[in-house]
Amino acid sequence: MGCPEGDDLVLVGRDRLHDLPGEFPVVRCQHCGLMRTNPRPTSETIGFYYPDDYGPYQGTQVTNSRWYSISQMLRKFVNVILPTHACLLPDLTAGRMLEVGCASGKFLHEMARKGWQVHGIEFSDSAAASARLLGYPVTTGQVESVADFEEPFDLVVGWMVIEHLHHPVEALTKLYNWTRSGGWLAISVPNAGSAEFRIFKENWYALHLPAHLSHFTPETMRKMLTAAGWSVERIQHQRTLTNLIMSANYWVAERFPDSFLSKMTGWIAKKQRYLNLALYPLSTLLSFFGQTGRMTVLARKPE
Ligand SMILES: [Zn+2]
């Protein structure tokens, strides 16, 4: 955040999602406490770590079948128990929405169905093309460098995206300038302030190196938003144990490679959504104490 030099080494990790080469240190700024991946791939070379089969690009594809509607209904039911992003939004009248990192357009689609006029920004050409096929305008590029919008937005969202940006304060300032006075910002990021981060360290699932460049805690997230002009309204800790289950799987795989135990935890990791449901009381408790691996932050541009 424009701090003078001075970082402490927190851990050194690698790419666990695709097993691509490289070792990546995570450091903590001695001044503001922000944790960053440093050294890190540049904005020119980072694309290498986002292959086309990158998970989030796939999971957000929309199909127009009857099954899609049925699965959406089922999902709504599950969402009451395991809230996703949309459920965490304040109750707003439909207006103009911008989604940063819209991937293949699933959330744009959801909001458009509710009457929102939606626009997306997406870094990946192929994911942006999928979202455009659904009929939504999508600007390809990085938030920090795309051209300004003419009309302001009532709501800007970014689901698990700010941690991927090379210049988060600049990006959040840009989003601030694109929002009308009184408009909302809703973002979700991993919570590196949780106990699971300190327990699992380089095995923490949400580290996602080297794609994640910042590793926020509620405090550093608050500082960064304030620096960009936003006023933080609330920080919600999502009721999910995904990180915990996946991190335990990484830990076992590292300690006991190719063992029966690691095969078992690998299988559990694939079915983690069900385990998450079964352990709902535990995730509610952890969320209450701010200890789950993901947080959603709501901020507002002052009137
Ligand atoms: Zn700093």
How many angstroms is it from 102 CA to the middle of ligand 1? 28
SS3 73: helix
Whether the pLDDT of residue 75 is over 70: the answer is no
Contacts 24+ apart (CB under 8 A), 83-87: 83/238, 83/239, 85/157, 85/159, 85/186, 85/188, 85/296, 86/110, 86/111
For the segment 203-245, what is each residue's pLDDT rounded down to a tens digit?
999 999 999 999 999 999 999 999 999 999 999 888 778 888 8
How many angstroms is it from 218 CA to the middle of ligand 1? 15
Q: CATH code for 7-41+67-300? A: 3.40.50.150
Average pLDDT over residues 138-161: 94
How many angstroms is it from 36 CA to the middle of ligand 1? 9
The CA distances from residue 126 to 56, 102, 190, 217, in Å, are 12, 12, 25, 32
From the list 302, 14, 61, the residue with the least C-alpha distance to 182 is 302
- Domain boundaries of the chain, sorted by first residue: 7-41+67-300
For the segment 89-132, what is each residue's pLDDT rounded down to a tens digit?
878 899 999 999 999 999 999 999 999 999 999 988 989 999 99
Band of the pLDDT at 139, cuts 50, 70, 90? very high
How many angstroms is it from 173 CA to the middle of ligand 1? 17
Q: What angle do CA 90, 92, 95 make, to 5 degrees?
A: 135
